[in-house]
Amino acid sequence: MFDLFRSREKSVRLLLGILLGLVALAMVITLVPSYGSLGGAQQDPSVIAEIGDTKITASDVRQVLARELKSQQVPKGLESVYLRPLITQMVNERALALYAAERGFHVTDEELAKTIRQLLPMLYENGKFIGKEAYASVVERLNLTIPQFESDVRKQMLASRLESLVLEGVIVTPAEIEEAFRRAKEKIKVSYFSINSDQFRAKSAPTQAEVLEHFNKSRSIYSVPEKRALTVYSITEDRIAATLTVKDSDIERAYASNLDRFRTPERVRVRHILLKTQDKPASEVAAIQKKAEDLLKQVKSGADFAQLATKNSEDPGSAAKGGDLDWVTRGQTVPEFEQSAFSLKVGEISNLVKTLYGFHILKVEAKEDTRVRPLAEVKEELRKELLKGEVFNKMQTVADQIRAALVKSPAEAEQLAKSNGISPVRVDKAGRNDPIPEVGVQESFSQAVFSLPKNGVTPVITIGTNKLVFAQVAEIFPEHPAEFADVENEVRQQLQSVKGMQLVNDLIASLESKAKAGADFAALAKEAGAAIKTSSLVERTGSIEGFGLASSAEEVFKKKPGEIVGPIRSGPNVFFMRLDEKVPADLTELAAQRDILLNDLKNRRARDRRALFIDGVIQKLVKEKKVKIYEDSIDRLIAAYRG
């Protein structure tokens, strides 16, 4: 990190020294156990974290996550996986902004306006602001108000300035660039063979006598775990639905009381072709526009729009569907796109439409005015919804009734179940981790079953989204010492694994010893019963067939031709390699690669430094009680999405 102090400005060096000194102190603090936990007492369970005077609530996190889902930055269904990194990012951003503000950094209104203009260029026409109403409309699509948006931008600007200062002066020496080039372009060619431990396991099948002997020597470690006999009751949607009907009069009442729900807004069905200009150099825009104009001429001349969209559109969400965006309502797209889409007639093709994303060509497939969908159109939809509501309520009622009867009389419970189309399932013997009919392997069910005495009944437990189950313990079979017949297969497999591993280890030790003594590589392969393969010349980033990335054999790059390296473990295989040829990097190519290598090295060094700095800032603010992170609230939020 010390090349940071090579900054030429004395004031910058002084400020960097102060900042990094504080961070270094914070990093020392992280080594003291008493400062290792984040947070403290919490009054409001909806609060995720506190940074200075501001709070991050569960609602704030949900809003940000909703935006990430909408922009497809977070895959649908993986919300619980992305939540913690998202929260960390929100905390870091606010903490850096607080840290920067405390040290005199600030953002003027003029600087804020300039940044917003860069972020939202669609708000300006010919250099003039188009109005606060349009501004509010754009920001509203981000689920934010203008004050919230501007506050977030200020925080990001403060954090960015602080980070830029910390990262200033990252130095990479010419020697480091040359070494990186040598490593990247150096090539090796190897001969190699592998030993698969599974093959030796197959060759190590023990005799019946060996299995019995092993069992007798280790009898005390083998036991048969506790098992239980059960009667399982399962209440599912389909079984209950078969006993219910929905009257037409109920459907009509539901329709009449929910007319607004069936009111569809004005909408258009649109295809489009997008050629992106976003995140591309200004020098390329003219060429992109020329290509867009050529495509427009083709579609205006009768070319198949869907085929052209599939081949040329850069919208990943619609290109594969021939550019089809399905139905679009007002407020769903950027203003320029919306204006064009709703002004076109059915079958009509637009001129080029320029948005912040690039150049679009639109074709309207269909249009619908605002209307109320008639009862006949939504009748089946309503019937299913009403039935589902009744089914859910009845599932709960039936489950509670049968369970209550089961506590009193199994015969009475069985009769009640039968009248509702439910047949109990008998399970003779089930262990804690055994799959149960109608349930599968379900931890909460297993815990409930194994916490009960004989004849005890579990609570009603939800399985998935459409099943309720409960069970009665019919018999308990306690854990007991195993007889040979109970565990013969288990003992056999264990002994076979032990014998196979011993054979492999003995062989590897023999090969390693002989390799160090200068044995012939072909003789080593013959002893292992393995075929020798030869790679092509590969760089570290290249792959060796059956082995993987050449970088995983780093030790081989350090050897001289003819030298042997092994054992190298990769998955179930163990490899021995001989270096056959080494081709050094061609330094005449270094000049052409220098800028790329320089940027790569600087970026990696900057990432490391940034992570170190942010961690130090967070820990310092935690120690000063200016940052509090509530893990219980985070866990609850993640659990809610996981559920």
Q: Is 100 exposed, middle or buried (0-12, 13-18, 19+ CB in 10 A)?
A: buried
Question: Is pLDDT of 311 > 50?
Answer: yes
Tens digit of each residue's pLDDT (9 = 90 or more) over 377-404: 888 888 777 777 777 778 888 889 999 9
Say how many CA atoms lie within 13 Å of 560 toward its Cβ.
0
Listed range (85-89, 324-328, 523-527, 604-608) with the worst mean pLDDT: 604-608
- What class has domain 266-369? alpha beta
- Residue with the two structure tokens 């009403």: 386
* Residue 521 to residue 562: CA distance in whole angstroms: 9
Q: Which helix (H) or strand (E) holds 184?
A: helix 174-185
Q: For residue 412, give the DSSP letter.
A: H
**What residue segments make up the domains of the chain, in order of their start?**
2-170+602-642, 187-220+487-583, 225-247+378-479, 266-369
For the segment 119-141, the average pLDDT, to the nearest whole number, is 78
For the segment 250-270, the average pLDDT, to the nearest whole number, is 82
Question: Is pLDDT of 13 > 80?
Answer: no
Q: Is 74 exposed, middle or buried (0-12, 13-18, 19+ CB in 10 A)?
A: buried
Q: Which two tokens stand for residue 83?
A: 């939540």
Tens digit of each residue's pLDDT (9 = 90 or more) over 187-230: 999 999 988 877 777 677 788 888 888 888 888 788 888 999 99
Residue 98 or 32, more confident: 98
Task: Quickly name the fold that domain 187-220+487-583 has.
Answer: Chitinase A; domain 3 (3.10.50)
Question: Is pLDDT of 453 > 90?
Answer: yes
Residue 166: band (very low, low, confident or very high) from pLDDT cuts 50, 70, 90: low
CATH number at 225-247+378-479: 3.10.50
Say how many CA atoms lie within 13 Å of 525 toward its Cβ.
17
Residue 600: CB atoms within 10 Å: 15
* Residue 420 to residue 406: CA distance in whole angstroms: 15
Average pLDDT, the chain: 82
Q: Which two tokens stand for residue 60?
A: 């704030």
Residue 351 or 493, more confident: 351
Q: Which two tokens stand for residue 504?
A: 């492999």
- What class has domain 2-170+602-642? mainly alpha
Q: Which two tokens stand for residue 539?
A: 């760089």
Question: Is pLDDT of 317 > 70?
Answer: yes
For the segment 312-333, the average pLDDT, to the nearest whole number, is 89
Quick one: pLDDT at residue 279?
Answer: 81
- If we measure between CA atoms, which residue out of 399, 57, 439 comes closest to residue 239? 399
Residue 13 or 312, more confident: 312
* Residue 550 to residue 588: CA distance in whole angstroms: 24
For the segment 567-594, the average pLDDT, to the nearest whole number, is 87
Quick one: pLDDT at residue 168?
Answer: 65
> Would 187-220+487-583 and 225-247+378-479 be classified into the same CATH topology?
yes
Question: Is pLDDT of 17 > 50?
Answer: no
Residue 602: band (very low, low, confident or very high) from pLDDT cuts 50, 70, 90: confident
Question: Is pLDDT of 3 > 70?
Answer: no
Quick one: pLDDT at residue 643?
Answer: 54
Quick one: pLDDT at residue 19?
Answer: 39
Residue type, 504: V
